[in-house]
Amino acid sequence: RGCAFVPRVVVVPEGGTVDFLNNDRLLHNIHATPKLNVTFNRTQPKDRTIPITFQKAEIVRIDCDLHSWMRAWVVVAEHPFYRVTQADGAFAFDNLPPGKYRLQIWHERTGNVAKEISVPSQGSAPLTVELKLQ
């Protein structure tokens, strides 16, 4: 929409499908060369939806070769414990079993950051993560 992928980042489970829809009057394409999933490069005229299924966990960059500024990301998760942050960076997990967890945080400009957290049996486990540009 408006020569931008909306949303820019989407998370799907392994085996999940993303429907790419072109709402613009212009021709676009969706192009990705993942390492673990199937490579694709499909032209996309106006009002055309192209479903793509992602079988294996990885972070996949999606580009439009016709408009170099158009980029999106599909994060394929190997488990059901994932979130996309709100605009202010906040996120929460509800009903997470108590225990120790290793959180993997990803941002397209900073890469991966790992954090350890302990979730108590009662209450919450606040966590602050700082991402720094390299």
Q: What is the mean pLDDT of each run of 10 residues along the chain (134 residues)?
A: 92 96 94 97 94 97 95 94 88 88 90 91 87 79
Predicted local confidence at residue 134, as pLDDT: 67
Is the Cα dihedral 85, 14, 95, 120 positive or negative?
negative
What is the C-alpha radius of gyration for the chain, rounded to an integer number of angstroms?
17
CA–CA separation, 18 vs 24, rounded Å?
18
Residue whose entry in the numeric block shows the structure tokens 């486990």: 125
* pLDDT at 32 (0 to 100): 97
Q: Say what the pLDDT of residue 81 is.
A: 87
